[in-house]
Structure 1
Amino acid sequence: MRTTDSRHDLPIAPNLLDRNFIAAAPNQIWLADITYIETDQGWLYLAAAMDLYSRRIVGWAMEYRRP
């Protein structure tokens, strides 16, 4: 399975954290990711956002179609 195609001329988002995953207070840095899970009904897409300081999930969404 391949999930990333880097062969394009589209702009690349800047790396704002530069692997410095330290937050001194809540809501300074939110991280987000998306994953997909195979189910009996097809693929389920899950996106989540996490506050780096508290490690709490501050938002999430699930869809059966790709956003």
Structure 2
Amino acid sequence: MGRTGVCWDNAGAESLWSTFKHEYYYRHTFVTKAELVAAINKWMNTYNSRRRHSSIGMLSPDNYERSLTMPGSDQAA
């Protein structure tokens, strides 16, 4: 998140929420706010720990981050 009125500062956050809405939110109905919060938590956990991303070598973000902290890692750029 960045400066007010500068869309490029928000690009990462906007992309994440757009992905959430298209992959999950629009396909489900939520009766209570608690259900929505639980769904967001579940989706974020899946997104970060299990969903593979092509931009980081088909690893999950959690696995990619772990690979950067491993001794001798050649993925740190």
TM-score bin (small chain)? under 0.3
TM-score by length of 1: 0.24
TM-score by length of 2: 0.22
Relative contact order (C-alpha < 8 Å, sep 6+): which is higher?
Answer: 1
Structure whose residues are more often helix by fraction: 2
Structure whose residues are more often strand by fraction: 1
